[in-house]
Amino acid sequence: MSSTTDKVDAKDAYDEQNMFENGRINLQIGAPAYAILQQCASIMRVATEHRMAREEKEGFLFQYGSRNGDVAYRKELASFLTRHYRYQVDSSSLVVTAGATQGLYMLASLLFSRGDVVFVEDPTYFIGFQILKTDLGLKTISVPMDEEGIDVDLLDRLLEEHKKLSTVSVTEERPFWTMLYLIPTFHNPTGRCLSERRCRQLVQVARKHNILVVCDDVYNTLCYERDPQGNFVTPPPALISFDQETDPGFHGNVASNGSFSKILSPGLRLGWIQAPKKIRSLIMNSSYCDSGGSFNNYTSGIIASALQLGLVEQHLGKIQDIYADNMNAVHKIITEEWPTGVSCHLPKGGFFIWVEFPQGFSCAELKETCIRDHNVSFYVGSICSPQGLFGNCLRVCFALYDMETLTDAVRKIGQSARLMMEAHTT
Ligand SMILES: Cc1ncc(COP(=O)(O)O)c(C=O)c1O
């Protein structure tokens, strides 16, 4: 009989093997490139040296830490976000997390119970959706999106219908009867951004129905749009910036779940939640927080130094350059070399390009062919859909590989797609 340890080891081996099996070029993985991650070593070395000079006298970083996180971390993070988000972020509105995955799990599990109804975009980040549905046993209702992001009119109608059926009693400990999970900026998988018009409308709808909107904001600062001088412009304003305390109808309906995983390193397991006071209090008064203290005290202190020394900003500039080039190259190949009838929107940031084939085309079949003939893989759109839609779409991540490997793999997918489409028409 295998022990638990054997099972864990087998799973680890499977993950590694699955990611790069037989030298497979796996464009389905949404992770930073190794060449970029190697640069994190010197950032962490310098930042650690900087912070340890203080810790030799204090030792605070080796303690459980305060529940909302290291003061320097929240201060430096607030000024970083203020620069990038185009509005003032107050350090008191931030709580440290161990990444956006932990943030989502924590918020949803603290606020809702098995069987409660929650709303998700379709398509969406499929693991975020699985956390809600499978891990937490919540009933997920999917809401379609278009070029401007989630269909807020339809959401409004669905909320109206489901509110009537809801048995959740709203209390101080459970201030919302439901939540919407969405990725408003540089959406995974489509790369789209919720338009400003929809942002305003969504905040009104959230207030009207008393729901919490949990924004998965892990890609926001990865913007590749440039001004006429060639400098990167600031990304579209985060949804939370449309829910201001000074607004007459303010009720604190939006939480922003951010992370250093995509802009620095997922191995750090470090993120933040920016949220209204009632949500922060719920987190900080939980036994979960009471027992463990800050969710990642040590690392947050080191990253406070990295932020203070400008190392994160410098790194971000470099990776924006790399990812922008990768994204543009992939888009160019798809639009110029892939068969006609394939459409592909050029995102302004993030990690992904979403490609749409004519209805009836099977991206699952294309994927099988690409693995068999080229050892190249990608995500079939239906995995990103709670309803199993988008079988004619695929998602390519342009972050993990160098330009040559990436473009070669994308060309090969295009060649296989052409052969498949020709075979279907003859
Ligand atoms: C939309 C989205 N949210 C969250 C995550 C994971 O974030 P973290 O590493 O901060 O837990 C990912 C990673 O692929 C993602 O694409």
**pLDDT at residue 11 tops 90:** no
Ligand 1 centroid – CA 101 distance (Å): 6
Same domain, 278 and 373: no
Of 312, 338, 363, at which residue does a domain stop? 312
Ligand 1 centroid – CA 331 distance (Å): 23
Residue 423: what pLDDT?
87
Higher confidence at residue 12 or residue 240?
240
Residue 304 vs residues 48, 266, 292: alpha-carbon distances, Å: 10, 16, 20
- Tens digits of per-residue pLDDT, 279-289? 999 999 999 99
Q: Is the minimum distance from the CB of 101 to ligand 1 under 6 angstroms?
A: yes
Whichever domain contains 137, its CATH number is 3.40.640.10
Ligand 1 pocket test target in 121, 124, 259, 296 with most atoms within 8 Å of CB = 259
Q: What is the DSSP letter of 400?
A: S
Of 272, 290, 312, at which residue does a domain stop? 312
Domain count, the chain: 2
- Tens digits of per-residue pLDDT, 316-352? 999 999 999 999 999 999 999 999 999 999 999 999 9
Residue 18: what pLDDT?
60
Residue nearest atom 13 of ligand 1, based on CA coordinates: 30
Whichever domain contains 404, its CATH number is 3.90.1150.10
Of 253, 277, 312, at which residue does a domain stop? 312
**pLDDT at residue 13 tops 60:** no
Give the residue from 270, 224, 246 showing the smallest Cα distance to 94.
270
Mean pLDDT computed over every residue of the chain: 94
Is 170 part of a structural domain of the chain? yes
Same domain, 387 and 241: no
**pLDDT at residue 426 tops 80:** no
Same domain, 219 and 350: no
Band (pLDDT 50/70/90 cuts) for residue 371 is very high
Q: Is the minimum distance from the CB of 261 to ligand 1 under 6 angstroms?
A: yes
Same domain, 224 and 281: yes
Sequence-distant (≥ 6) Cβ neighbours of residue 225 within 8 angstroms:
232, 233, 348, 349
Ligand 1 pocket test target in 185, 188, 222, 352 with most atoms within 8 Å of CB = 188
Q: Looking at the DSSP assignment, which residues form a beta bridge with residue 145?
A: 150
**pLDDT at residue 119 tops 80:** yes
Residue 17: what pLDDT?
52
**pLDDT at residue 14 tops 70:** no
Ligand 1 centroid – CA 260 distance (Å): 10
Residue 68: what pLDDT?
94
**pLDDT at residue 113 tops 60:** yes
Ligand 1 centroid – CA 420 distance (Å): 33
Residue 297: what pLDDT?
97
Same domain, 335 and 298: no
Same domain, 16 and 121: no
Is 84 part of a structural domain of the chain? yes
**pLDDT at residue 294 tops 60:** yes
Q: Is the minimum distance from the CB of 218 to ligand 1 under 6 angstroms?
A: yes
Structural domain that includes position 256: 45-312
Q: Is the minimum distance from the CB of 28 to ligand 1 under 6 angstroms?
A: no
- Tens digits of per-residue pLDDT, 246-269? 999 999 999 999 999 999 999 999
Same domain, 49 and 174: yes
Residue 19: what pLDDT?
62
Q: Is the minimum distance from the CB of 97 to ligand 1 under 6 angstroms?
A: no
Q: For 234, how many CA atoms within 13 A lie in the half-sphere containing its CB?
A: 11
CB-based burial, 390-414: b 16+ in 10 Å, e otherwise:
bbbbbbbbbbbbeeeebbebbbbbb
Is 37 part of a structural domain of the chain? no
Q: Is the minimum distance from the CB of 125 to ligand 1 under 6 angstroms?
A: yes
Is 326 part of a structural domain of the chain? yes
Ligand 1 centroid – CA 220 distance (Å): 12
d(CA 309, CA 320): 19
**pLDDT at residue 2 tops 50:** no
The mean pLDDT of 385-395, rounded to a whole number, is 96
Same domain, 157 and 240: yes
- Tens digits of per-residue pLDDT, 165-183? 999 999 988 999 999 999 9
Residue 21 vs residues 13, 26, 216, 375, 376: alpha-carbon distances, Å: 11, 9, 30, 9, 10
- Tens digits of per-residue pLDDT, 187-228? 999 999 999 999 999 999 999 999 999 999 999 999 999 999
Band (pLDDT 50/70/90 cuts) for residue 15 is low
